[in-house]
Amino acid sequence: MVNLIECLSIMVDNVTKEPTAERADSLLLSAQSAAAASLNADLVLESGGSSSGGHTFSQCVSTWLIKTHTHFHNSEDLVLPWYFGVLCWSYAVGGIVMMLTRPKWTEESAFPFRTMACMLILVQAPLSFAADYLSMTQDTYIHTADRLLACPMMLFELVKVITMSPHVRTGTFALYVSSVATAVYCFMKSSQAQDNHDANGFIFWHNCWHTYPL
């Protein structure tokens, strides 16, 4: 995931050449720090609470990215409410809104806005529902597929926000940045709750995470 973020930095350098890109740089640095901290926390928990700083990228992949189960595997304490499943489809709602109300800045940018919308509707939403609601306590490759898509899609969202920065008002940009930051915070809290086998905390924070596309 850290390697993906480094790739994102290169992409941003090529996309944002305007002076206002300084605003985007601060967002990217914050996102890099948050993602690195989150990933390190996951690795510490997976390794039994010891962090030596010697984790390799392959260890990151094997201990988190390609896992086929969650911390609630075979748990009898996790009972997901119906609205948890409904909110998994928020990605589809967000994608549909993107298709129907394409903002003006996309006409001045090469960002693949409609492609991202289609990915949210046709892939991200069904995978989220299958992994988070239907298979949360099961051992299945759906969890792997969900993570493999969710990571680049979140980075894709960051690229979208950074790309729009020269074309929108400062207030609009600040609103998007604060929304992304809040979403990342909710995701990290839901991951922490899952690590602690806190079912109620996981349901609350993961629901908050899924409200971001709305």
**Cβ–Cβ under 8 Å, residues 94 and 120:** yes
Alpha helix (H) residue ranges in 112-169: 113-119, 125-128, 141-164
What is the number of other CB atoms lying within 10 angstroms of the CB of residue 128? 24
The pLDDT value recorded for residue 94 is 95
Predicted confidence pLDDT, tens digits, the chain (214 residues) = 434 444 444 444 444 444 444 554 555 555 555 445 444 544 444 444 444 444 565 666 666 778 899 999 988 889 999 999 999 999 999 999 999 998 989 988 899 999 999 999 999 999 999 999 999 999 999 999 999 999 899 999 999 999 999 999 999 999 999 999 999 999 999 999 999 999 999 999 999 999 998 7
pTM, entire model: 0.73
The answer for residues whose C-beta is within 8 angstroms of residue 7's C-beta and 6 or more apart is: none
Q: What is the DSSP letter of 49?
A: S
pLDDT at site 186: 96
Between CA 79 and CA 93 the distance in angstroms is 25
Give yes or no for a contact between 158 and 28, defined as CB atoms under 8 angstroms apart.
yes
CA nearest to 176, candidates 168, 108, 18: 168
